Amino acid sequence: MNEKNTCACGTAPKLIFACSGAADVGAVADQAARKLTRDGKGKMFCTVGIGGRVSGIMETTKGASKILAIDGCPLNCVKNCLEQAGFANFAHVQLADLGLEKGKTPVTEANIALVAGKCEKILAC
């Protein structure tokens, strides 16, 4: 695992699950998660692996020190996926709560930074 993602004492990772849907807000959520990973704030992980109940992904997620779900639109697919897999203790960011609307949100550095900034604060707690 990358040193940026864990401390020297080997604590469990902070995992980030993001919408990567076809809508513009899904792309923003996805890119924000990738930015957070590049910046060493957490590790983007596979939402579809949770949906598919892939054993290794499930076990790693159970051992995470923090889980963050980033949903692009109010359908809350990431949140629902985690809940249906039995996860209840996670933070959730809904892009609509940040004023980003499906079909009206270009995938810009400013929008990605807005979402990543909100998520970074949550992951820091």
Does the residue 7 lie in any domain?
Answer: no
In degrees, to the nearest 5, what angle opens at C-alpha 110 toward C-alphas 124 and 114? Answer: 30
Q: What is the pLDDT of residue 60?
A: 97
Q: What is the pTM of this model?
A: 0.90
* Gap between the terminal Cα atoms of the chain: 21
pLDDT digits (tens, 9 = 90+) for 68-84: 999 999 999 999 999 99
Beta strands in the chain (DSSP E): 14-18, 43-44, 66-71, 91-94
Domain coverage including residue 66: 18-124
Q: Does 5 map to a domain?
A: no
In a domain, 85, yes or no: yes
Q: Which parts of the chain register pLDDT below 50?
A: 1-9
Per-residue pLDDT, 125: 79
Residue 11 lies in a domain: no
What was the pLDDT predicted at 51? 97
Q: How many domains does the chain have?
A: 1
If you search the block for the tokens 């899904």, which residue do you land on? Answer: 26
pLDDT of the residue at 10? 55
